[in-house]
Structure 1
Amino acid sequence: MAPEDVYELAWAGDPQLSPDGKTVAFVVTRIDREANDYRSAIFLTPADRSAPPHRLTSGEKQDAAPRWSPDGRELGFVSNRAGDRKQLYVLPLAGGEARRLTDLKESVREPAWSPDGTRLAFSARKPDPLYDEEDEGKRAPHRFTRLAYKLDDEGWTGDRRLQLYVVPADGSAEPVQLTEGDFENMSPTWSPDSAWIAFVSAREDDWDTKMASDVFAVSADGGDPVKITRSDGACAFPAWSPDGALVAFLYIPGVFEDPRHAQLAVVPAKGGELRVLTSSLDRNCNPYPPLRPPVWDGGAIVFALEDGGNNDLYRAAADGSSCDPIVRGTGMTGFDAAGGEVVYTASTPTTFSELYLSGEPVTQIGAAFTARRELSEPERFIARSKDGSEVEAWIVRPAGFEEGTRYPVLLNIHGGPFTQYANKFFDEFQVLAGGGYAVVYSNPRGSSGYSEEWGRAIRGPGETGPGWGTVDYEDLMAVTDEALRRFPFCDPERVGVLGGSYGGFMTS
């Protein structure tokens, strides 16, 4: 693989089962080299694999976030087909044009149907009036009074906070803004009676410095939000139970206690004590990048977790009586569940993300690409660090590998540090291998995907731990030494190191 090959990358993601479980909607994303932008289209395929997938939307720009109406007759989605911002559309599946429901100044995200099918909730940024001046040179200066005022890939956020909206599904009225104020509000999920919307926010006076977030509920007709968790950690991705009694969500316990494993938890919808369902697993239940909110399937909840470079899928009983694996050992990139059935998208180190039904891929989005190139499978090995700790690592042989030839080695270090190198396609590794390098990578202490003790091993420096560049450095050196010892094709005279973010810190 060569650098210019990135323009041919494509992948499937965001699979969504229809309410009757018979059809899967999913998104295929490609890269438009000329426009230097992404293009995405929505596809449909029968869940029983009786016919091949077919394209539903044109994908001339970006069609994404397909969401089934409760009766399965319509599909909501977001698209920037009519401008720079993604707006909300609803497409009748029996035929006809998609109707546009919004005309906002910022992109619509996180669409969610009300269970009665009459409305959709979503989030979108609400810009300050100063943005009405399109010429940035003439625009009034920004004035920020909170620490949280900008985000990577978002720009300024302090004067364009994320707010929640509802809009009629038939397009009969304009969207109504549900939340107000200098707060970030996200991840709307409806109560079964369509009367309430749960969401995540931090709304205390000192929310930008306290670093805690909560699950709130607000009337779908508007009003003051009601907090249903207790500001004792970070909350994400709520999902209301089918009987309306509980809200499931991902929960990171503690404030200023990072890193901690995200746990799957439930809390009474009217507030009360939360119950953690996954503490016995000792794994992080919110893979990075995030896949989606947990999914209720009857009285159980389907969710993903990180484990040794994989993104595995589990099902937990809401009463805490069981927590069992469904799919293991994959590079999962998205999933959905209904009626006991599970669909997911996943990639491998040598294949793009494809849609899987009954555990088998049903798309071949990357087949033509991989057939024309020599892509290298990683080989797993274990290194023993200075204190005896075992570190999981991998090596990718260079393309065109020849026995008896020695190759330069590149040690790659991931960012985070509380993330993991995953069992997924990573173009950078294949490009480096295509350039004639042996590529070595690992998950040293500080990484996610292992025990919480492993992830917290480099806290500090001080009473909480030794800090960055200590045992993690020893782990990385042990991995390098073991690769040079174990694989005779690695040239010890030509060894380099690279990384981004925390990986850049360790490189330097």
Structure 2
Amino acid sequence: MQKYILIGAALLSLGLSATALADTLSDTTDTATIPEVKPTLSAEDVFALEWANNVQVSPNGQHVVYVRSHYDIMTDGTRNELWLIDVETGAHTPLFADQYQYGNPTWSPDGTRLAFTSNRAGKNQIHVYWLAQQKLTAVTSVQQSPGNLSWSPNGKQLAFMMNEPAPKTDFAKSVKSATKPKDAKWAPAPVVVERTFYQRDGQGVVPSAYRQVFVVPSDGGTARQLTAGAFDHGGPLVWRDNQHIIFGATRAESWEYQTGEQDLWQVNTQSLKLTQLTNQPGGEYSASLSPDGSQLAFLSRSSAPEPYHNAKLQVMNLGNGTIQSLQADLDRSIESPQWLDNKTLAVQYADRGRYKLATVTLNDRRTDLTDKIGGTSISRPYLFGMFSAAADSDVIAFTYGSESRPADVAVYNLKQRDEAKRKRVLTALNEDVLGHRDLAQLNEFTYSSSFDGTEIHGWYLTPPNYDPSKAYPTMVEIHGGPHLAYGPFFSAEHQRYAAEGFVVFYNNYRGSTSYGKDFAMLLDGFYSSDNDLADHLSGLDALIEKGVADPNNLFIAGGSAGGIATAFAVGTTDRFNAAAATNPVINWVSKTLTADSSIGQITNQFPALPWEDPNHYWARSPLSRVGNVKTPVLMFTGEKDRRTPIAETEQFYQALKIRQVPTVMVRIPDAYHGVTARPSRINAKVDYTVAWFKRYLKSADGE
């Protein structure tokens, strides 16, 4: 009955009378022959989306545990559950799907237990679950949130990382204050800031603390701190044997100013002796130990003061300390090395808007397996995804991304000879919703930038019920970074824009990753500028030439680096009917001296300090061109943004108001730079942008 109601409502919306509708239904005796009239993606549908992440294959390759995430319409947040899949049968079982949050699933070496983090005990703690016995216990009782879990080879210990509060400084201890009487109600105490890194987007001004390495018995007990000092230590944590753990750190006194430096270290869990394993210029990280314990794979990155570096794969012989470089000529950035056996590694690398899963042998032979890793970015089509391999297992698990669905769980079987069975998608998390929606269709193309002829790779979505004989209102939506990439993946925002009748064009403009270092460096010193603006305008010109885009109805939008590009564009050209800038930078001097990315950005993206070369900062700032702006501008920014502080938005808003240019500032309470972290904010961003753009739509005659 409900199906008839939905069909009837859809047919009535198309202009069929009630009588005609009744005749249509009465003439149909077999409901299976009635085609489903699919609605387009709605704001309510966004709350129903699900996706897979943190897929982890068991040591024997027989199971995959993963974090199944979905939005919660009642809390306007994300629920994270743990689910288990039998690789052979596809049986899909919830391990923990309740009111608590779950993350960081990590298999024990023998595959009989799972460690993970959860707030089941109030604060986030490490828990261990015995699969056969279906028994669960919390093994920590710590005050901070643990992460980077790692089992010892014998399964008796769990290493993890956690923030440890720093002791008071000499200055803080020297301050003498009046004693507060019992039950007195005083104003909050002053916050003393002395650290160089005193703030983090998503957290605000943070208490002074350092990330340290800890260990705890895997059956529960007291956590023991292994590292100390005013240094941040980084994962992953790698057990060399049952008594030594390898990690990353910059243990230099001025480490907060050495933004590109990190070395690999080893700590003895009994004596706490520290041993430095690498000392190359730049950063060494993401270590992985071969099954026989003789070789350590890791990634390295240059510390040259540049905005982009490819990550390179290296392998250290732990017996003699020699280091071998693998895939040195590959002009792409390698990620997440994981051993398959003592001679072969699995890696992923980004190539032309896609992640490729590949194997690399110690004789430097690379074999690409699949380019379907992705799908873990829900709001926009960012190139995010991951995989998991286990030594001596034939199965690699990964997040499977596509243009029409968020991430599902998939596996690749290295020994399967039947090509059709080699790669299998094991879940269909969104078929119950997206399988019944009329989605926009994605189209891929390349074109030449009018700036210098550089080839630019792009995509465009055509609205449901697209008529190729018509030209449509078209928006260019620009990704952030700028050293990130979009790809051919599902995007809730883009699908909703298309459902409102817009062609949505997006590209990987110069500066984007996955096209090699030279391409990424094309924005060095020119972010934002006429250079990348030409990449966007040339793409629109190509769509106009194809008959897709209506030249009288062009719009521009973007977030973060895309918001900067949007603000720069309206100060340079009047081609757009309206603009929507999310989290923009408007003044590079104020941005670099107030944001949490201050030192790293100044060091790597600018030729000098702001007061040493103010002209360069000003030339890159959209505020320098505000006198040219005629385009109506909407701005959408989180009030707690620490990456592109809302004062940037306020500068542009007030400047445009002074000039009497139509402008709206949409302020999002309690939101940081990840302004669409909540599903209601994904919808709000689309809703406000669509309403703004439709105010400035022109009719067919251009009026």
Q: 1:245 Cα deviation (Å)?
A: 2.5
Question: Partners in 1 of 2:406 and 2:489 — Cα distance?
Answer: 8
Structure 1 segment 228-377 matched on structure 2, within 5 A = 228-269=277-318, 272=321, 274-286=323-335, 293-298=336-341, 299-317=343-361, 319-331=362-374, 333-338=385-390, 339-357=393-411, 358-377=422-441
Q: 1:325 Cα deviation (Å)?
A: 1.0
Question: Partners in 1 of 2:554 and 2:48 — Cα distance?
Answer: 30
Q: Which residue of structure 2 aligns with residue 142 of structure 1?
A: 192
Mapped contact 1:229–1:274 kept (Cα < 8 A) = no
Question: Partners in 1 of 2:186 and 2:479 — Cα distance?
Answer: 36
Against the structure 1 CA distance between its residues 92 and 316, is the aligned structure 2 distance closer, same or farther, given a 3 Å change threshold? Answer: same
Q: Does 1:382 align with 2:382?
A: no
Q: Percent identity?
A: 28
Q: Does 1:151 align with 2:200?
A: yes
Structure with bigger helix share is 2
Q: 1:51 Cα deviation (Å)?
A: 4.1
Mapped contact 2:482–2:561 kept (Cα < 8 A) = yes
- The letter for the 2-side match of 1:352 is P
Q: Does 1:105 align with 2:125?
A: no
Mapped contact 1:405–1:489 kept (Cα < 8 A) = yes
Structure 1 unpaired stretches of 5+: 287-292, 461-465
Measured against aligned partners, the alpha-carbon deviations of 1:240-278 in whole angstroms (never above 9, x if no partner) come to 222222222222123323301112222344784543312
Mapped contact 1:330–1:423 kept (Cα < 8 A) = no
Q: 1:108 Cα deviation (Å)?
A: 1.5
Q: 1:184 Cα deviation (Å)?
A: 1.4
Q: 1:331 Cα deviation (Å)?
A: 2.7
Answer with 234-243 or 37-46: which moved more.
Answer: 234-243
Q: 1:368 Cα deviation (Å)?
A: 0.8
Mapped contact 2:285–2:298 kept (Cα < 8 A) = yes
- The letter for the 1-side match of 2:188 is K
Q: Which residue of structure 1 aligns with residue 242 of structure 2?
A: 194
Mapped contact 2:115–2:128 kept (Cα < 8 A) = yes
Q: 1:227 aligns with which of 261, 268, 276?
A: 276
SS at match of 1:429: helix
Q: Which residue of structure 2 aligns with residue 479 of structure 1?
A: 539
Answer with 397-406 or 367-376: which moved more.
Answer: 397-406
Q: Which residue of structure 1 aligns with residue 232 of structure 2?
A: 184
Q: 1:320 Cα deviation (Å)?
A: 4.3
Mapped contact 1:229–1:272 kept (Cα < 8 A) = no
Q: 1:89 Cα deviation (Å)?
A: 0.3
Against the structure 1 CA distance between its residues 191 and 343, is the aligned structure 2 distance closer, same or farther, given a 3 Å change threshold? Answer: same
Mapped contact 1:121–1:165 kept (Cα < 8 A) = yes
Question: Partners in 2 of 1:136 and 1:27 — Cα distance?
Answer: 44
Question: Partners in 2 of 1:255 and 1:404 — Cα distance?
Answer: 52
Question: Partners in 1 of 2:276 and 2:440 — Cα distance?
Answer: 50
Q: 1:102 Cα deviation (Å)?
A: 1.4
Q: Which residue of structure 1 aligns with residue 618 of structure 2?
A: none
- The letter for the 2-side match of 1:259 is Y
Mapped contact 1:42–1:59 kept (Cα < 8 A) = no
Question: Partners in 2 of 1:274 and 1:468 — Cα distance?
Answer: 39
Aligned length: 487
Mapped contact 1:309–1:449 kept (Cα < 8 A) = yes
Mapped contact 1:107–1:124 kept (Cα < 8 A) = yes
- The letter for the 2-side match of 1:142 is V
Question: Partners in 2 of 1:494 and 1:320 — Cα distance?
Answer: 55
Against the structure 1 CA distance between its residues 136 and 475, is the aligned structure 2 distance closer, same or farther, given a 3 Å change threshold? Answer: farther
Against the structure 1 CA distance between its residues 472 and 222, is the aligned structure 2 distance closer, same or farther, given a 3 Å change threshold? Answer: farther
Question: Partners in 2 of 1:8 and 1:378 — Cα distance?
Answer: 22
SS at match of 2:467: coil
Q: Which residue of structure 1 aligns with residue 128 of structure 2?
A: 90
SS at match of 2:96: coil
SS at match of 2:407: strand
Compare CA radii of gyration and give the structure with the larger one: 2
Mapped contact 1:121–1:167 kept (Cα < 8 A) = yes
Question: Partners in 2 of 1:27 and 1:137 — Cα distance?
Answer: 42
Q: TM-score, normalised by structure 1?
A: 0.90
Measured against aligned partners, the alpha-carbon deviations of 1:382-433 in whole angstroms (never above 9, x if no partner) come to 1111222211111101233234333211101111111100232221111111
Q: TM-score, normalised by structure 2?
A: 0.66
SS at match of 1:496: strand
Q: Which residue of structure 2 aligns with residue 289 of structure 1?
A: none
Question: Partners in 1 of 2:131 and 2:232 — Cα distance?
Answer: 34
Question: Partners in 2 of 1:66 and 1:397 — Cα distance?
Answer: 39
Q: 1:10 aligns with which of 34, 50, 64?
A: 50
Against the structure 1 CA distance between its residues 35 and 137, is the aligned structure 2 distance closer, same or farther, given a 3 Å change threshold? Answer: farther
Q: Which residue of structure 1 aligns with residue 550 of structure 2?
A: 491
Against the structure 1 CA distance between its residues 231 and 271, is the aligned structure 2 distance closer, same or farther, given a 3 Å change threshold? Answer: farther
Q: Does 1:170 align with 2:219?
A: yes
- The letter for the 1-side match of 2:484 is T
Q: Does 1:214 align with 2:285?
A: no
Question: Partners in 2 of 1:435 and 1:4 — Cα distance?
Answer: 14
Mapped contact 2:332–2:517 kept (Cα < 8 A) = yes
Question: Partners in 1 of 2:295 and 2:306 — Cα distance?
Answer: 27
Q: Does 1:501 align with 2:560?
A: yes
Mapped contact 2:359–2:369 kept (Cα < 8 A) = yes
- The letter for the 2-side match of 1:97 is K
Against the structure 1 CA distance between its residues 163 and 137, is the aligned structure 2 distance closer, same or farther, given a 3 Å change threshold? Answer: farther
Measured against aligned partners, the alpha-carbon deviations of 1:74-117 in whole angstroms (never above 9, x if no partner) come to 1111111222x421000011124311011222211111111110
Q: 1:121 aligns with which of 135, 152, 159?
A: 159
Question: Partners in 2 of 1:249 and 1:470 — Cα distance?
Answer: 38
Against the structure 1 CA distance between its residues 489 and 51, is the aligned structure 2 distance closer, same or farther, given a 3 Å change threshold? Answer: closer
Mapped contact 1:210–1:255 kept (Cα < 8 A) = no
Q: 1:44 aligns with which of 47, 67, 84?
A: 84
Question: Partners in 1 of 2:464 and 2:441 — Cα distance?
Answer: 10
Mapped contact 2:315–2:324 kept (Cα < 8 A) = yes
Q: Does 1:34 align with 2:69?
A: no
- The letter for the 1-side match of 2:405 is T
Mapped contact 2:125–2:140 kept (Cα < 8 A) = yes
Against the structure 1 CA distance between its residues 192 and 164, is the aligned structure 2 distance closer, same or farther, given a 3 Å change threshold? Answer: closer
- The letter for the 2-side match of 1:343 is A
SS at match of 1:457: helix
Question: Partners in 2 of 1:419 and 1:336 — Cα distance?
Answer: 22
Structure 2 unpaired stretches of 5+: 1-40, 169-184, 376-384, 412-421, 568-703
